[in-house]
Structure 1
Amino acid sequence: MTHDLLGRHRAVLPDWLALYYEDPIEITHGEGRYVWDAAGNRYLDFFGGILTTMTAHALPEVSKAVGEQAGRLLHSSTLYLNRPMVELAERVAQVSGIPDARVFFTTSGTEANDTALLLATTYRRSNTVLAMRNSYHGRSFSAVGVTGNRGWSPTSLSPLQTLYVHGGVRTRGPYAHLTDREFVAACVDDLTDLLGHTRPPAALIAEPVQGVGGFTSPPDGLYAAFRDVLHERGVLWIADEVQTGWGRTGDHFWGWQAHGRSGPPDIVTFAKGLGNGMSIGGVIARAEIMNCLDANSISTFGGTQVTMAAGLANLTYLLEHDLQGNARRVGGLLIERLRAVAAGVPHVREVRGRGLMIGIELTRPGTDEADPRAASAVLEEARAGGLLIGKGGGHDTSALRIAPPLTLTVAEAEEGAAVLERALRGL
């Protein structure tokens, strides 16, 4: 059955639509932190559909909210008043940290980043954008134009002039040998020098933790230091929280808060986890920025009632059950367990991350040369052991990505770590 579906997939879908595993699997259902494939095999899910199943599979509170709303009305567009959209926007604005916040809902993170770029370039009257090396912001024309990861950039054409800045990867590049303080200072000097050679840009767009880039991040405080430089020139700061938002990093509710001494970003984008699988993205910005557009606009599917009901139920569950705290506690135990495992595996260059957002970078033993073959081998072996993980990285996809639902228990963390230990030691 699965092989038949694979043949049909290849016959009608694009060649560039990636599938995991030499023998791809069809996931048919899930519950809690587990999913089952069409052959009846059970897997502990450490990737959550690319960090999207944020709380749990088949979470009763979300399923109930979706079913009840679907029984009343699925959709009306933004041309009509929409109570679930207003209620969720109120909650999102409240937790955003942005003063006088306005919220616009989209259907994806790509669309959210598109909207943020539209707002920033319109507000600043500039099509120049600063972005981070090794970054990823989506698959649309403009989002690809600010993506600093060659593996996810199918074209160099863009409506934007993008200038790439140092700092997103702490342990690679020309500043890797510096202390954290020296690293931040060198990156700020580089940014200041860059700004001296170009017309003032509209914004810096940056992921607090680079997702597709392999869960890399700078020292805490880098983006606050950048913000000081940018603020002097009126340049906006867009925090791409598509993967880092809603408490996943444990220490903070938003990834930007690790860099927050200069205050919140001007614009925050989000998606993935808020809907726990339903298609929700969005943008949060100060009113003066959000309201800068002088043409009509609507969203046909952004803010649709059924997705808003799911998002509201999911966010309520997350806050009431302190899943940020669980991510901090269980994630801290998991990362230390994985670091202990990695100490005996020559292929592991680094175990990094915070909360339930953990990366394991693999290289050829004794070198800093990426080893995508090893990453693929661990992915396959983990699947054989009943564990689903992801991979990524700006150096030939050599980082394993671990991002379980935020309800993960200590016992499940140990179960997953044991599978990863066997897979890594088998290299």
Structure 2
Amino acid sequence: MTHDPASLHARHQSVLPSWLSLYYERPLELTHGEGRHVWDAEGNRYLDFFGGILTTMTAHALPEVTKAVAEQAGRIIHTSTLYLSRPMVELAERIAALSGIPDARVFFTTSGTEANDAALLLATTYRRSNQVLAMRNSYHGRSFSTVGITGNQSWSPTSLSPLQTLYVHGGVRSRGPYAGLSDDAYTEACVADLEDMLQQTAGGVAALIAEPVQGVGGFTMPPDGLYAAFREVLARHGILWISDEVQTGWGRTGDHFWGWQAHAENGPPDMLTFAKGIGNGMSIGGVVARAEVMDSLSANSISTFGGSPVTMAAGLANLGYLLEHDLQGNARRVGGLLIERLRAVAAGLDLVREVRGRGLMIGIELVRPGTDERSPEAASLVLEAARERGLLIGKGGQGGASLRIAPPMTLTIAEAEEGADLLADALRAAQGRLAPA
């Protein structure tokens, strides 16, 4: 069979939506992968530092996962939630125990969007309110309700929403009106803003939904403890806290298994949502909530594809591998090395404003050299230059001006050093093409 990316791109454009974004001037067709590497249809090999948007969490073609998928598919592929499912119960038991939420219940979906959608349904039903607090620069999915709480305008195609959304300060530490404050003063100012906003609202707010590290927002984050301080305010008003762990869960940040644990002084969230990495490429999402909240729905509900036997088998195998091989510890060690290497590279480059992140979740914000003006052009140039050198990375942030680096969590020290060298070369090449202000 002939592999012609240009022909496939033309076919893609003729049958798929114009808003379905593709990376690169010459889009890639990835045909296979192994470990931390993937190959395209023309036989080029790449070091993968984006993992299908943080979804290939452990490794490409991980034998334990592919074996579990094949064995389950050979038995039965689909049953629906109308029947008992041993893999679904077993994975729910493990996630409930790991969640930190007392008396936890788990509902499985097929994506992070659907997980956040379900969490919003639970919160608004439980609280009898359609008012939701969300963070500025946030992203929670592409469904009608999750777009309505997304605070990043690049990913919000409509202002229509079934929810009344109020956006809170705090998700972006190094920009905005409080950027110049110390961490403690920053947290204090954001809490005061939250208190003031709640005094202005009519009726009770249902929930705050927040990513501990903003993913699409460019891997930005508040000081540790900010959401714990928010939780103290929320608890006084009976408002639920939903931690969106779609990108931060399963130890990727290195320091913690869940992102919310950096803000744990006042206990776990009322709900957390998860997806992406748990399936290592299989479509798994879900919500964990206190039983009182999860069981607040009075209508019947099922999921046709949530909790599929094949995806649950993949999730069990993948989670088992992650825990047995301490991939959280690897993310902390190798991610720490990688971020220090990238900060050393950035120190000599005018187009890099900030290198931020934790574990294997690293963002690099780019600006027009000589200014503080975000530069989507620079991000696109670096993306292309990295690809030419055999490295795949992502981008995001306001206007798409931040690079996103999130390799599979089995990344080795040698691969981290190789990737840092390739990215350094790509950054220097991009800077050479950008005129200073």
Q: TM-score, normalised by structure 2?
A: 0.97
Letter in 1 for 2:367: T
1:39-74 CA deviation, whole Å, 9 max, x = no partner? 000000000000000000000000000000000000
Letter in 1 for 2:204: P
In structure 1, the residue matched to 2:96 is 93
**1:307-386 equivalent positions in 2, closer than 5 A:** 307-386=311-390
In structure 1, the residue matched to 2:434 is none
In structure 1, the residue matched to 2:243 is 239
In structure 1, the residue matched to 2:107 is 104
In structure 1, the residue matched to 2:435 is none
Letter in 2 for 1:338: L
In structure 2, the residue matched to 1:160 is 163
How far apart, in 2, do the equivalents of 1:273 and 1:84 lie?
A: 18
Q: Once superposed, which parts of structure 1, at least 4 consecutive aligned residues long, lie more than 4 Å away?
A: none
Q: By how many angstroms is 1:268 displaced?
A: 0.2
**1:284-303 equivalent positions in 2, closer than 5 A:** 284-303=288-307
> Residue 77 in 1 paired to residue 80 in 2?
yes
**1:11-410 equivalent positions in 2, closer than 5 A:** 11-198=14-201, 199-394=203-398, 396-410=399-413
RMSD: 0.4
How far apart, in 2, do the equivalents of 1:206 and 1:280 lie?
A: 20
1:301-321 CA deviation, whole Å, 9 max, x = no partner? 000000000000000000000
How far apart, in 2, do the equivalents of 1:305 and 1:106 lie?
A: 12
Q: What SS class does the counterpart of residue 87 from structure 2 fall into?
A: helix
Count of paired positions? 426
How far apart, in 1, do the equivalents of 2:283 and 2:180 lie?
A: 41
How far apart, in 2, do the equivalents of 1:93 and 1:158 lie?
A: 31
How far apart, in 2, do the equivalents of 1:185 and 1:200 lie?
A: 23
Q: By how many angstroms is 1:366 displaced?
A: 2.6
How far apart, in 1, do the equivalents of 2:141 and 2:342 lie?
A: 30
1:68-96 CA deviation, whole Å, 9 max, x = no partner? 00000001000000000000000000100
Q: What SS class does the counterpart of residue 204 from structure 1 fall into?
A: strand
1:242-270 CA deviation, whole Å, 9 max, x = no partner? 00000000000000000011000000000
Percent identity among equivalent residues?
79
How far apart, in 2, do the equivalents of 1:339 and 1:151 lie?
A: 27
Letter in 1 for 2:103: D
Ranges in structure 2 where 5+ consecutive residues have no aligned partner: 432-437
1:125-147 CA deviation, whole Å, 9 max, x = no partner? 00000000000000000000000
How far apart, in 1, do the equivalents of 2:329 and 2:261 lie?
A: 15
How far apart, in 2, do the equivalents of 1:229 and 1:387 lie?
A: 44
How far apart, in 1, do the equivalents of 2:272 and 2:424 lie?
A: 37
Q: What SS class does the counterpart of residue 19 from structure 2 fall into?
A: coil
Q: What SS class does the counterpart of residue 193 from structure 1 fall into?
A: helix
Ranges in structure 1 where 5+ consecutive residues have no aligned partner: none
1:323-376 CA deviation, whole Å, 9 max, x = no partner? 000000000000000000000000000000000000000001232211010100
How far apart, in 1, do the equivalents of 2:396 and 2:204 lie?
A: 33
How far apart, in 1, do the equivalents of 2:105 and 2:197 lie?
A: 32
How far apart, in 1, do the equivalents of 2:55 and 2:428 lie?
A: 29
How far apart, in 2, do the equivalents of 1:335 and 1:47 lie?
A: 15
Q: What SS class does the counterpart of residue 412 from structure 1 fall into?
A: helix
